[in-house]
Structure 1
Amino acid sequence: MMENNNKKIICRMAMRALRYNRRRSILLFAAVALSSFMIFSVFTIGSTYYKMTRLQNIRMNGADFDAVMYGGSEEQLEKCKTDEDVRAVGLVGVAGYIEETEGDKTANLGTVWADETFWNEMMSPARTSVEGTYPQEKEEVMVTRKALKTCGLEDRQIGDSFRAVYVDGKGQKKDMEFRICGIWDGYGDKNVFYISKALYDTCGYEFSSVVSGRCHIDFAKTFLTEKEQQEFQEKMKLDKQQALIFTEGMAASIPIYFGMIGIVMITCFCAYLLIYNIMYLSVAGDVRYYGLLQTVGMTKKQISTLMKRQMMILGSAGTLAGVLLGVAVSIGFIPVILGSLGINADKIGGVQISMHPLVFLLTALVAGCTVWIGSRKPVRMAVQISPVEAARYRASYGKKSRKKTGKGKIIWRMAKEQFLKDRKKTTVILLSLAAGLSVFLCMVTIIESQGARTIVSNYMDMDLVLYNDTLKKEDSDKWEKLMDDRFLGEIRHNGGIKQANPLYFARIDVPWEPEFSDQWMREFYEMWMYESYDHVRESYRSGTLEDNLFCIVGIDEDEFDYLTETLNTKVNRKKFFSGKTCLLYQNGLDIAESDLKGKRVTCTGYGDPDNRRTFEIAGLTGENYYMAASQSRMTIIVSADTLKEFLPDDQITISRIAVRYEREYDRQAEKEMMELVGKSPYAKDFSSTSKIEEKEMVEEAQGNLTEIGICIALILAFIGILNYMNTVTGNLQNRRVEFAVMESMGMTQGQIRGMLIIEGLFFAAGSLCIAATLGTGITWLIFQAVNYRNVPFAVPTGPVLLMTAAILLICTLIPLFVWNSIAKKGSVIERMRQTK
């Protein structure tokens, strides 16, 4: 047969066929458009999700940096500034603290100096407002409303002055008059006064000291591998006291990136299944039509061109529509997110609307490839079949096989046979549903794990911790007993309080001895002190060392259980509570537990050498909660009863009380606790850490992060549902003659519906099993990749139960809906005579 050049005619036929089959064309167009929209949305929202995670980390850190180095010599700073991988270096210097103000005798608020890079560049994304200017004169300070409230100066404004006792780096107290030159608000540590360079230069600290210097480093690269991080650390040549810590975002950037890539890959696979299923079912239904075209003279090549032209028209139009819809949604959606976060993206460089060309290219490429792959098999089928075979063609839905009559109810047996009849199609449906369910499971697990309730965790997961701020004063004569057993009893008798655990505190002496205390003090001086231990060793040995502060704390059984769970060694409970053993707060010292365990430490009452007690060291803990005093050389942890037996009551005070409410995040219980504190004559000398306040801070920093993740999860779950819907629809349409035959043999429509429900349950159970096994495994891998906060892995029960119920309903209702539509299209005889 001679081939004619009739491309224009083929193009008109393609357009005419699309118009003639409007319903099918609309369905194909909608499938491509929806899939393109989903792909585009996942790329765009995924990118936004990543950027918002980074913004959250910036807010939690209070500035935009990737690593912080404690202390920094001139040589190290020069290396940082000249390193080609470093974009910027911001310096912050701790300059002492405000001990008291005219409004509060226990303010204990830090003072720091920040250079222009840190203040103007790194802190800018974490600030929401700035009034005034950064301090230039010695007496000027930049404050926050929270810091003013802490100091009892909440009524002060810019230009106002106040008097305060300032303690510098040498421990010298200065009664100074400060003037507020600016007020800022935003995220990070707001309980601090920013001071001028002029005051920092006179504070007595050197920036090279780890006590003062903070060198914040912003790398030019988005990601730094662990090897690159290690190489940078080695390049800095840190001394023993120094530490270089990478932020959570920088340390976890690569795992998060690959975790998001994994989610995108699963999404693309789901989108491919959606387009492929619709294309295959639609084109396969017209095989007879294409075969009959050969009888009127069309060549196989022309038929192939005709089919490809239809696919190209629908694919191009659908992809364009999906991308445009994605752009419209993104433009309308992202500004809402930014506005709700309370930031101005144009001014502070936050998350801005970014339509990267690569997103458009990837969307068009994935959709185009999917349309092409999805149409290849139907095209080959239509081209290769002969006109005679095409006239007799019926869409198949499984291989025919002869089997013996099985046992069991016939409806269940028929549903099972249908489920296993076409294994390929069944596998596609199961994978389609399982992929969507798995991604939904993955997203809700990550969202739940990174929620404020999960991230926020107080000591022993308590709701509130009350602190005695007078113990922060260097002069122990000014320490006050803010909390006593009577105060503790009032807390415990509150109906909203489930548990209250006091931490008892007292000052002691630890005489010099060569086996333990000499080793401990040498390590302490090397880590934290300016002067050499060799200079003070003889004074300590003779008992004449000034300010030789040692502390002892007493804990109850609840605290012991919590503490020992965090240790690497087992502590004998009976020996600890009988007063034979103790634990030590490690205080960041480079001492191995194995070097001290089993050694003995002797301590005496403060100023009472005759009152002596010796304990065997059972282990070390790094839990900061047990740091009894900031200037403590050593903190010994014993049981509360042991402490009370060792020292008189007038030497023991309660340093802090950890409180757990009957109901977590109980605002009424917290209000009553604050009212109790307010009744104390030392109300201003209390401070507290509240899990409710921390949760609110995290939620504010996260903004709409959770909502974004839920949108992603719902979109991806919807993909799997559409795949199931389209595949089942085509399958039931292909079986309509079979159903008509079964009805003619006496099978009722109720029995057919029951069989379809059972088939749907098989698909639901199969997809849930895959999601529960393989999906959970994938979820765990991705979870660990993005879990830079070390949150324990836990599958959220509520969303999983809702997901299970939803998939059971969907898998059973969709077949019934399609069957009811088929059953209305004529009598049994008419349906038996249908060929398409």
Structure 2
Amino acid sequence: MISTNNRKTIAALAKKSLKANRARNFTIICAIVLTTVLITAVFTMALSINKSMQHAQMQTTGSDYHGSFKYLNPAELEKLKNHPSIKEYGVFLKVGDISTSLFKNNRVEVLRVDENYVKHGFINFIAGGLPSRVDEIVLNTWALDMLGAKHELGQIVKLDIDTGEKVISQDFKISGFYETDQNLAMSGLAFVSEAFTQKNISQIDPDLSEATGSYVNTSDLAVMFNNSYNIEKKVQKILADTGLDVPYGVNPAYTSVSLSENLVNIIPYAVVILITMLSGYLLIYNIFFISVVRDVKFYGLLKTIGTTPRQLKKIISIQARSLYLVALPFGLGFGYLLGLLVLPMANSISSNTSGNVYSASPWIFIGAAAFSFMTVWIAASKPGRMASRTSPVEAVKFAGVSSIGKRKTKKSKHGAKLHNMAFSNLLRSKKKLILMLSSLSLSIILFSTIFTVISSLDVNKYLRAFISGDFVVQNEVLVSIRGARDGDPYKLSEEFANNLSKIDGVESVDKVYYRYVPYPVDDAVRAILEPSAAAADPHPYLLSTLDKGGMIYIKLYGLDPGWYDLLDKDIIEGEFNRQKFSSGKYVIITEANLMEEDSYRSYYHPGDTITFGKSGKSYEVMAVLKNDAVYAATTKAFSVLGYNAFLPAPELQKEIPQGTDPAYIVSATLHVDPTKLDQVEQAAKALTDSTNELTLKSREDYKEELGGFIRIFQTIGYSLSLVIALIGVLNYVNTVLTGVISRRNEFAMLESIGMTKKQLKRMLIYEGLYNVLCTVLITSTLGVLLTYKISKSITEVIAFTVFRMSWLPFIFTVPVMLIIAFAVTLRAYKTISQATIVERLREIE
């Protein structure tokens, strides 16, 4: 066979076919744009959220450096920083701590740093810069506030700096100041000059300082590499090359918060991408399938003149790629903008407080383009194969439906019924019907799932987890939602609580007392933990706990009577008796938090006795609760292998064990006269605003938080449902319109033998109603089952939900589908009725 170069001819045929199908092209472009928009938005959100998480972790760590070498002497520092694999570095020297009494509960570390460290350490000067003179210093704004100094350069502050060997007391001039979050672990930093360190600590031996644990006059070298892959291996290679053995660290922002670190984090994004790809596939495939069916005679004629099957597939492939290239820029652009708009809402659901960090990674566009192309390629490949396999003779005889086996002749005494004809027409092309119903059903199932999850969010359960009265004053030093922070843990004192109770309108104040106590591993504890220790590769902490003298740590809470109503919730064993509990002879415990994920067991059972500390007093276990029971009264943190224990408040106000400091107060809950809520809030706010350690929140504040979460969930969820539904509706419209157009000759023949236009219109309406009925049957059976399974699995992992299955989404979509079906049918009928019967019959010739 003579090989000919006919690529230009094939491309020309594909181009002319595109020009001849403008309506089809527009629909496919819309489908590709919608598909690409959603995929791009998901990639944008995923990478931006990952970057925001990294940024938050970096702020907590103190810099965006990849890693660091710690406690170096000058020789080690010089040797390490000249290694060729280090792209950039910053150095800071440890000087000591500010020991001024004002900073008793807020540690401020004094360092000497270089400009590189400032650049990578999130230190953005409001004014000024690093010090150069011996009497200059840089402080942050909250440190200036504690000193009572103005936010101005040149302010004089008197500070005591403890270097370990001596305390340096002198007046410093502010050479620069910056703002930072006081709750971040690395927020307490002050910077002095090289002149200061030369004068005051240069004589301190860094090796001796490291050995004693003061680390004064030792340097840390923070380093950046070309990329963040395998940071630890790169750090270890530097140590191997230099022959040094010094401590090092790897920035956890590059290892512990990545979405790829835990595959569970990727699942929601993967599900959305798969649903989007499936919806886009159904529409694009259906359009190409219908296009091939409609133009099958054209492809048959091409075969008669020598076009090969491969060339026919190439024609459809070129069309698909051309439409993809036209739609891609719009999809990527709109999708990226959508992702940026949705990101603040998605971030507000999490506890990330560092703000939104937007990613412009090329992987967003590469990934979205690849997934979108994959969808188009898969959707167009099968119709292409179908066109290539059709023989010329079959193509000329093709009428739009396939006949398998012997056709059955239907007999009727009273003539053909319109509804029977409509039902038969519906089943003539089962493949097109299945594709259309799948697309419509998918959007309804997605909508009903999101609706069910949102309707399952329970306001009362949410409130019970945070507040039991009208207002709560919370000790932020103890409550660990965002991690423990510096401050005075006794700021919420008995005196402060008494002042709250004296506010006009406050009916009662319920306090929660707290102690964190070690408990020796007894036989009951050992019986639960030893099987886990015997398993392969047990956790080192578990083994050390089971060693001789090992301890588990218990969080003891003393509750005022106002909390008792929550103690009979989430009971696993036993029952709660208010009078017996108030006697001080009983304790209520929770399940222990074991090493395995979501693994909880109780060491003790009702009737067992427990003795806490050295008091010698034993308590009988009254009941066992779930691990996170009475969450609102706790510090919001749980000790591994330990458990929570609840006693009446007077028991914890006593010294247990003897000679220890008083128990902390975690929170004070205010029960208020409903007519005086506003004035109590103002008075309580005036008290709590005077200190950084305490916060005041009301029931309305928590309701607003949940309302914000619901609004975000609704916006994201319903927007996704709307786009998927739009794809489904486009699929339906395209199927009906092209189906009617491809059968225009058949309808002309029916009219020629006596069918009226009114009857034809009724038959088409029946077909639309059958489509709706089939969709309803699918969604009310399989759809309900899928909605139930998916929604229940989602609500089980979201706190503050009570699963509620609802039929409303399925009922609500029926009239919408009826309206769409009726409107599309009328439009389809109008399309074919414009030509006369004679004109349509002539098309058969």
TM-score for both structures, normalised by structure 2? 0.62
Between 349-358 and 193-202, the greater mean CA deviation after superposition: 193-202
Deviation at 1:61, TM superposition (A): 4.2
SS in 1 for 2:386: helix
Q: Which letter maps to 1:582? A: V
- After TM superposition, the structure 1 = structure 2 runs for residues 186-335 of structure 1, keeping only pairs within 5 Å, are 189=184, 192-195=187-190, 220-221=228-229, 247=256, 249=258, 253-289=262-298, 291=300, 293=301, 299=304, 301-302=306-307, 307-308=312-313, 310-329=315-334
Tell me: CA distance 1:406–1:6, structure 2 relative to 1, closer, same or farther (3 Å). farther
Deviation at 1:425, TM superposition (A): 2.4
Say if 2:415 is the partner of 1:428. no
Indicate conservation of the 8 Å contact 1:552/1:638, yes or no. yes
- What residue ranges of structure 2 are gaps of 5+ in the alignment? 233-251, 348-355, 479-485, 527-540, 542-547, 550-554, 657-661
Residue from 579, 599, 603 that aligns with 2:609: 599
Instruction: State the distance in 1 between where 2:93 and 2:812 align.
Output: 49
Residue from 615, 620, 630 that aligns with 2:619: 615
Deviation at 1:377, TM superposition (A): 0.9
2:501 corresponds to which residue? 487
Say if 2:351 is the partner of 1:352. no
Instruction: State the distance in 1 between where 2:170 and 2:605 align.
Output: 45
- After TM superposition, the structure 1 = structure 2 runs for residues 433-472 of structure 1, keeping only pairs within 5 Å, are 433-437=440-444, 459-460=466-467, 465-467=472-474
SS in 2 for 1:352: coil
Q: Which letter maps to 2:581? A: F
SS in 2 for 1:812: helix
1:134-153: CA deviation from partner (whole Å, max 9, x where unpaired): 799899564356x777x595
Q: Which letter maps to 1:183? A: Y
1:302-327: CA deviation from partner (whole Å, max 9, x where unpaired): 27577556435533321221223335
Tell me: CA distance 1:714–1:316, structure 2 relative to 1, closer, same or farther (3 Å). same
Q: Which letter maps to 1:719? A: I
SS in 2 for 1:594: coil
Tell me: CA distance 1:655–1:710, structure 2 relative to 1, closer, same or farther (3 Å). closer
Instruction: State the distance in 2 between where 1:376 and 1:461 align.
Output: 66
Residue from 659, 663, 682 that aligns with 1:675: 682
- What residue ranges of structure 1 are gaps of 5+ in the alignment? 225-242, 343-347, 494-499, 520-526, 528-533, 536-549
Deviation at 1:577, TM superposition (A): 3.9
SS in 2 for 1:395: coil
**How many residues are matched?**
728
2:779 corresponds to which residue? 768
Indicate conservation of the 8 Å contact 1:59/1:701, yes or no. no
SS in 1 for 2:389: helix
SS in 1 for 2:59: coil
Indicate conservation of the 8 Å contact 2:472/2:668, yes or no. yes
2:351 corresponds to which residue? none
SS in 2 for 1:465: strand
Indicate conservation of the 8 Å contact 2:93/2:111, yes or no. yes
1:437-493: CA deviation from partner (whole Å, max 9, x where unpaired): 556677899999999999999635888531479999989899552223973774557
Instruction: State the distance in 2 between where 1:589 and 1:475 align.
Output: 28
Deviation at 1:727, TM superposition (A): 1.8
Q: Which letter maps to 2:727? A: I
1:1-50: CA deviation from partner (whole Å, max 9, x where unpaired): x999795995597279538xx5x521343344344434544443332111
Q: Which letter maps to 2:620? A: E
Indicate conservation of the 8 Å contact 1:48/1:351, yes or no. yes
Deviation at 1:761, TM superposition (A): 1.7
1:489-547: CA deviation from partner (whole Å, max 9, x where unpaired): 74557xxxxxx872155999x9x99999xx9xxxxxxx9xxxxxx99xxxxxxxxxxxx
Residue from 723, 728, 731 that aligns with 1:723: 731
Residue from 59, 62, 65 that aligns with 1:63: 59
Indicate conservation of the 8 Å contact 1:135/1:142, yes or no. no
- After TM superposition, the structure 1 = structure 2 runs for residues 546-557 of structure 1, keeping only pairs within 5 Å, are 553-556=558-561
- After TM superposition, the structure 1 = structure 2 runs for residues 92-131 of structure 1, keeping only pairs within 5 Å, are 101=102, 109=106, 111=108, 124=122
1:751 corresponds to which residue? 762
Indicate conservation of the 8 Å contact 1:158/1:183, yes or no. no
Instruction: State the distance in 1 between where 2:711 and 2:124 align.
Output: 14
Instruction: State the distance in 2 between where 1:156 and 1:798 align.
Output: 60
2:483 corresponds to which residue? none
Indicate conservation of the 8 Å contact 1:506/1:551, yes or no. yes
Between 772-781 and 398-407, the greater mean CA deviation after superposition: 398-407
Indicate conservation of the 8 Å contact 1:168/1:203, yes or no. no
Tell me: CA distance 1:825–1:643, structure 2 relative to 1, closer, same or farther (3 Å). same
- After TM superposition, the structure 1 = structure 2 runs for residues 361-510 of structure 1, keeping only pairs within 5 Å, are 363-364=372-373, 366-381=375-390, 383-385=391-393, 390=396, 392-396=397-401, 401=408, 416-437=423-444, 459-460=466-467, 465-467=472-474, 479-484=493-498, 487=501, 490=504, 502-503=510-511, 505=513
Tell me: CA distance 1:300–1:685, structure 2 relative to 1, closer, same or farther (3 Å). closer
Instruction: State the distance in 1 between where 2:789 and 2:637 align.
Output: 46
Q: Which letter maps to 2:13? A: A
Indicate conservation of the 8 Å contact 2:41/2:336, yes or no. no
Residue from 28, 40, 57 that aligns with 1:44: 40
SS in 1 for 2:360: coil
Say if 2:22 is the partner of 1:26. yes
Say if 2:179 is the partner of 1:184. yes
2:741 corresponds to which residue? 733
Deviation at 1:430, TM superposition (A): 1.9
Percentage of identical aligned residues: 15
- After TM superposition, the structure 1 = structure 2 runs for residues 161-180 of structure 1, keeping only pairs within 5 Å, are none
1:396-447: CA deviation from partner (whole Å, max 9, x where unpaired): 278765568799x966666555544543322211222334455667789999
1:754-778: CA deviation from partner (whole Å, max 9, x where unpaired): 4144223224314534444346656
Tell me: CA distance 1:11–1:449, structure 2 relative to 1, closer, same or farther (3 Å). same
TM-score for both structures, normalised by structure 1? 0.62
Instruction: State the distance in 1 between where 2:520 and 2:619 align.
Output: 14
Indicate conservation of the 8 Å contact 1:14/1:307, yes or no. no
SS in 1 for 2:290: helix
Indicate conservation of the 8 Å contact 2:475/2:489, yes or no. no
Tell me: CA distance 1:216–1:443, structure 2 relative to 1, closer, same or farther (3 Å). farther
Q: Which letter maps to 1:317? A: S
Indicate conservation of the 8 Å contact 2:25/2:323, yes or no. yes
SS in 1 for 2:496: coil
1:646-676: CA deviation from partner (whole Å, max 9, x where unpaired): 99xxx9997633469999xxxx999755412
1:816 corresponds to which residue? 825
1:553-605: CA deviation from partner (whole Å, max 9, x where unpaired): 2233545526853x76555334324433124799999999526972244899x
1:143 corresponds to which residue? 140
1:594-617: CA deviation from partner (whole Å, max 9, x where unpaired): 26972244899xxxx9xx976324
Tell me: CA distance 1:646–1:385, structure 2 relative to 1, closer, same or farther (3 Å). same
SS in 2 for 1:263: helix
Instruction: State the distance in 2 between where 1:452 and 1:91 align.
Output: 49
Q: Which letter maps to 1:302? A: T
Instruction: State the distance in 1 between where 2:676 and 2:315 align.
Output: 68
Q: Which letter maps to 1:29? A: N
